[in-house]
Structure 1
Amino acid sequence: MFGSVATSTHSIDQYTQFVGDAAIESLRAAAAPLRGARVLYLSSPAASGAVRRLLQSSVPLLADLGLHIQWQQVRIAAEYVEMDRALRRALSGYAGGWHEHRESEWREFNQGNAQMFDEDFDIVVVHHSASVGLHAALTQLHGHSPPGVWLWHSHRDYRNAVPNAWSFIRQHADDFDASVYDYKPFIRDDAPTPRTFVVAPGVDPLSPSARPVSDEVRETILAQRGLNVNQPVIGQIVLSMRDDDPERVLDTFALVRQHRPDVQLVITNLVTDEPALAEKLNALRQRAQQLGGVLVLSEMDRVGNVELSALREEATVLIHEGYPRGISVELLEEMWQSRPIVSARSSVAEALLIEGRTALLADSTEEQASAIERLLRNPRTAARIGQAAHRHVARRHLITHYLANYLKVFQQMLKRRQRTSRR
Structure 2
Amino acid sequence: MRIELVKGVNLNIIPSKQFKTTRIFISFIKNIESKKELAERALLANYLEMCSQNYPTQIDIARKLSQMYGASFGSSVDRRGNYQLVNFSIDYIEGKYLVGNEDLLSEVIEFLKEIIFNPLKVGENKNFDEETFTRQKNNTITYLNSIKEDKQAYATAKLRKLYFDNEIQQVPSFGESEDVEKLTISDLMDAYQKMLNTDRVEIMISGDVNTDEVVNKFSVLPFKARNISRASMSYTQEIKQEIVTQIDEEPLSQSKFDMAFRLPVVYRGDLHYAALVFNSLFGGSALSLLFTVVREKMSMAYYANSNFDPFRQLLVVQTGISYTNKDKVQELILEQLERLRKGDFEDELLEQNKNNLISSYISRLDSQTSALLRAQSAALTGINVTVEEWLDNLQSVTKDDVMKVAKMVELQATYMLGTN
Higher RCO (C-alpha 8 Å, min separation 6): 2
Provide TM-score, normalisation by structure 1: 0.30
Q: Which has the larger radius of gyration?
A: 2
Provide TM-score, normalisation by structure 2: 0.31
More strand by share: 2
